[in-house]
Amino acid sequence: MPQTNGNGHAVAQTYVGTRTVRPDGVDKVTGRARFGADFSLPGQLVGRVLRSPHAHARIVAIDTSRAEQLPGVKAVVTRDDFPDQSSEFIPAGEMLINYRDVVRNVLAREKVLYEGHPVAAVAATSVAIAKRALKLIDVQYEVLPHVIDVVEAMRPDAPLLHEDLYTAGVEPKPAKPSNVAKRVEISLGDIEAGFAKADVIVEREFTTQPVHQGYIEPHAAVASVSEDGSTEIWCSTQGHFIVRAHCARLLGLDIGKVRVTASEIGGGFGGKTVVYLEPLAVALSKKAKRPVKMVMSREEVFKASGPTSGAHIKVKMGATKDGRFVAGYAELRYQAGAFQGSPVQPGVMCAYAPYDIENVKVIGYDVVSNRPKVAAYRAPGAPISEFAVESVVDELAKKLEIDPVELRLQNAAREGTKAAYGPKFGPIGLVDTLHAVEKTNQYTTPLGEWQGRGVASGFWFNIGGETCASLTVNEDGTVSLMAGTPDIGGLRASLAMVAADELGVPYEKVRPIIGDTGSLGFNFLTGGSRSCFSGAMAIVEAAKEIKADLCARAAKLWDLKADQVEFKDGHVRATGAGADKHTPMSVADFAKVAGKTGGPIGGYGRINAQGAGPSFGTHLVDLEVDPETGRVTILRYTVAQDAGKAIHPSYVEGQYQGGAAQGIGWALNEEYIYGADGKLQNAGFLDYRMPVASDLPMIDAILVEVPNPRHPYGVRGVGETPIVPPMAAIANAIERATGIRFTDLPISPPKVLKALRERGLNHPKNGS
């Protein structure tokens, strides 16, 4: 049955909205699918990285001569093998990248800025030789005092990471450099006037720790450079066009000479939108004249790939006694790691986005410190700021004696609400998600002793961006689909479904692949929850080209004018009088006569996708606290989120469940633990505690669909919003269970037990 959404695109939906089996699935359940480390080239060398043992030090000298002389070592690279880069900000995902910082993060130049910072790399004929070679590289360091904590790093007397870093966004420009890279601010209305109107004000401070994306697949890359500079890279990445751009830029290569193939990717969540090993592998291969394969160990992943920021947050909110929010203020201090670029800007923009508040002021600071440079992590910046705001909203609800869902409904952003960060919202689904949660069985199930229920909402903008995709009709009527954004978790299924419906061909006849950088025009990376949103749009454009072409061919065949044929329900049909003289022709019919009617049949979508619609979600959690140990057990969890249109409901549900699980880990147990020496103490899955199967219950996923009128299928990105609400939902539930408001993540057992003991509460009410 044809379905039309807001922007008038009408196509019979046989597949879209159903739960097909993904086309890349068999390879994934048989072990055949090739991830980053599964690829090898003949003659390849093993590459390994020498990393700084210090949190902060000046590099006095690097001597690689002994390593170079070791038999079996074919190349050694240091900062001398990478030309310096000037300062230039380019967008990558939701963050801005400065190449001067990128080249220094890839290999340290003047200083090492975190334990694990790469200093040199070797390529050798075996792992054992590579390891020995690293030990033969002599680096002289002048160890410097380090600073880890964000508030500490902002002090005027803190150890300075960059002598040329002056806080941007303040007037006048500061006289002295500092660790504060940037100050940002958004405001709406008059914040003081707003607080003056408030009957109830809640003011709180919060802290969060850096948490890692935690992908199970470590970074991996294989590079092969020919004598003429042609470069092939195979790597696990969320953006192979970005890898191409970075490698070309860092090594002075023509972009067209670099061809990057994205392997299957074993998780990214934003952490694989940057380069670490790829430029090193290319530089080594260029020197060694042989392919070089590099894979990170788990320890390297934790120590040297970007987690997200830890932060210090102040929130102050005012409401009238009947529950109207009148003022929302926040100060966010995010640490960026060794180089500037924390996601404080999106954090600032998202903090109050779920609400219609007249008076908002949010200030943010981007602060460097001696930790690995942060990388994007699923809705970067928003989980932190919204954790704080959603916790305060809950406190307001309690103070006002209004149900927390009702309070949110009263103040929810709706169509037409002007967001504090700028735009007016189109149709959005926050209210729907709140109602969906209220209607669940979970919402009214009675709870027992030491159990609590918490709710929180969340928002992420989502993006569109540059996207190219192609559809090719093969001689037998099958359709080859090529997309350009790595498939992190079900994209190929969704795009194949869209293509199948667009062209009226069976789903099984559409074979999707992710093309390499040589096969398509520029594609921005898989991030910002854009790959299905933009990819589907590009496929629609590609299909339009095919449909127009087939109509033209039919018109010629049938000797009709262009406006006397149309493509409908998978067939070109004649319209108007005498239409039944011409048998409708399907795509497969045309495939058989392609050559005779003009040549190969194909379409290409090249767009800069606009109109990404925000996705709002509301989470509901029931949990139990063991008062004698402080351990929190999640009993029940529901996610309700607006997908606009769920192309493949199972994979949309999967995003809700996966993001919620990451948020649960962030709330309860995940954190980077540093010693006083600035070194990471828990660089492994044993002590970096991510949720395991027995930690979680089933996670109920409610698909709300408020179509995005600017997308042919109504799609909204869904991947990132699910990680935004869990931390506050859990903190709110723990408050209901214990009467204690926890403001420092993770809310781990020692913290909970300490707080319970301080209040004499660490006993079960009925003694056992």
The encoded tokens of residue 153 equal: 């790093």
**Number of other residues whose CB lies within 10 A of the CB of residue 702:** 20
Spell out the residues 6+ positions from residue 135 whose beta carbon is closer than 8 angstroms to its own: none
Least Å from the CB of residue 387 to another protein: 19
Rule CB under 8 A: is residue 693 a binding residue for another protein?
yes
- Say if CB 688 and CB 666 are below 8 A apart: no
- Say if CB 621 and CB 735 are below 8 A apart: no
| Nearest CB to another protein, comparing residues 188 and 211 | 211
Specify which residues 333 forms β-bridges with. 312, 365
Cα–Cα distance measured from residue 186 to residue 360, given in angstroms and rounded to the nearest whole number: 8
Specify which residues 652 forms β-bridges with. none
Per CB under 8 A, contacts with another protein among 632-661 are 633, 648, 650-651, 653-654, 657-661
φ and ψ of 407, to 5 deg: -60, -40
| Nearest CB to another protein, comparing residues 30 and 444 | 30
| CA distances for 364 relative to 168, 300, 312, angstroms | 12, 30, 10
Least Å from the CB of residue 466 to another protein: 24
| Nearest CB to another protein, comparing residues 166 and 685 | 685
| Nearest CB to another protein, comparing residues 590 and 651 | 651
- Say if CB 286 and CB 293 are below 8 A apart: no
Binding mask 697-726 for another protein (x = CB under 8 A): -xx-x-------------------------
User: Tokens 């190929």 — which residue?
Assistant: 492
Q: Which of 694, 760, 765, 766 binds another protein (CB under 8 A)?
A: 694
Per CB under 8 A, contacts with another protein among 133-192 are none
Cis ω for the linkage preceding 172 (within 30 of 0): yes
Rule CB under 8 A: is residue 25 a binding residue for another protein?
yes
Least Å from the CB of residue 38 to another protein: 4
Amino acid present at 117: H
Q: How many residues bind another protein (CB under 8 A)?
A: 80
Helix (H) or strand (E) holding 513: strand 510-514
Q: Which stretch binds another protein (CB under 8 A): 17-25, 82-90, 276-284, 434-442?
A: 17-25
Rule CB under 8 A: is residue 767 a binding residue for another protein?
yes
| Nearest CB to another protein, comparing residues 222 and 550 | 222
Per CB under 8 A, contacts with another protein among 28-47 are 28-35, 37-38
Rule CB under 8 A: is residue 749 a binding residue for another protein?
yes
Rule CB under 8 A: is residue 17 a binding residue for another protein?
no
Rule CB under 8 A: is residue 263 a binding residue for another protein?
no
CA 303 from chain centre, in angstroms, equals: 20
Least Å from the CB of residue 637 to another protein: 9
Burial string for 255-290 (b: 16+ CB within 10 Å, else e) reads eeebbbbbbbbbbbbbbbbbbbbbbbbbbbbbbbeb
| Nearest CB to another protein, comparing residues 421 and 672 | 672
Binding mask 264-283 for another protein (x = CB under 8 A): xxxxxx--------------
| Nearest CB to another protein, comparing residues 20 and 451 | 20
| Nearest CB to another protein, comparing residues 554 and 747 | 747
Cα–Cα distance measured from residue 138 to residue 134, given in angstroms and rounded to the nearest whole number: 9
Binding mask 600-639 for another protein (x = CB under 8 A): ----------------------------xxxx-x------
Rule CB under 8 A: is residue 444 a binding residue for another protein?
no
- Say if CB 511 and CB 690 are below 8 A apart: no
Least Å from the CB of residue 63 to another protein: 22
Rule CB under 8 A: is residue 218 a binding residue for another protein?
yes
| Nearest CB to another protein, comparing residues 140 and 629 | 629
| Nearest CB to another protein, comparing residues 302 and 524 | 302
The encoded tokens of residue 104 equal: 């220094």
Nearest to 662 by CA among 719, 613, 732: 719
Rule CB under 8 A: is residue 510 a binding residue for another protein?
no
Least Å from the CB of residue 393 to another protein: 25
DSSP string, 649-667: HHHHHHHHHHHHHHHHHHH
| Nearest CB to another protein, comparing residues 148 and 574 | 148
Q: Which of 5, 22, 354, 457 binds another protein (CB under 8 A)?
A: 22
Side-chain half-sphere CA neighbours of 340 within 13 A: 24
Least Å from the CB of residue 36 to another protein: 10
Radius of gyration of the chain (CA): 27
Cα–Cα distance measured from residue 338 to residue 144, given in angstroms and rounded to the nearest whole number: 14
| Nearest CB to another protein, comparing residues 267 and 717 | 267
The strand pair at 451-460 and 615-625 is best described as antiparallel
Binding mask 664-683 for another protein (x = CB under 8 A): ----xx---x-------xx-
Rule CB under 8 A: is residue 214 a binding residue for another protein?
yes
Amino acid present at 188: L
Rule CB under 8 A: is residue 511 a binding residue for another protein?
no
Least Å from the CB of residue 688 to another protein: 9
Nearest to 428 by CA among 610, 642, 612, 710: 642
| Nearest CB to another protein, comparing residues 388 and 493 | 493
Helix (H) or strand (E) holding 48: strand 45-51
Nearest to 306 by CA among 157, 520, 97: 97
Binding mask 514-553 for another protein (x = CB under 8 A): ----------------------------------------
Least Å from the CB of residue 27 to another protein: 8
Least Å from the CB of residue 197 to another protein: 42
Cα–Cα distance measured from residue 180 to residue 166, given in angstroms and rounded to the nearest whole number: 7
Rule CB under 8 A: is residue 748 a binding residue for another protein?
yes
Least Å from the CB of residue 447 to another protein: 20
Burial of 628 (0-12, 13-18, 19+ CB in 10 A): middle
Rule CB under 8 A: is residue 291 a binding residue for another protein?
no
Per CB under 8 A, contacts with another protein among 473-502 are 488-490
Cα torsion 503, 508, 514, 518: sign: negative
Output DSSP code: residue 36.
G
Q: Which of 323, 691, 707, 714 binds another protein (CB under 8 A)?
A: 691
Rule CB under 8 A: is residue 433 a binding residue for another protein?
no
Give start and end residues of each alpha helix (H) in 115-175: 127-135, 150-154
Binding mask 109-128 for another protein (x = CB under 8 A): -------------------x
| CA distances for 344 relative to 156, 349, 374, 655, angstroms | 21, 9, 11, 24
| Nearest CB to another protein, comparing residues 170 and 673 | 673
| Nearest CB to another protein, comparing residues 211 and 407 | 211
Per CB under 8 A, contacts with another protein among 294-313 are 295, 297-299
Q: Which of 86, 559, 692, 766 binds another protein (CB under 8 A)?
A: 692
Angle between helices 240-251 and 278-288 (to 10 degrees): 50
The encoded tokens of residue 363 equal: 């200030």
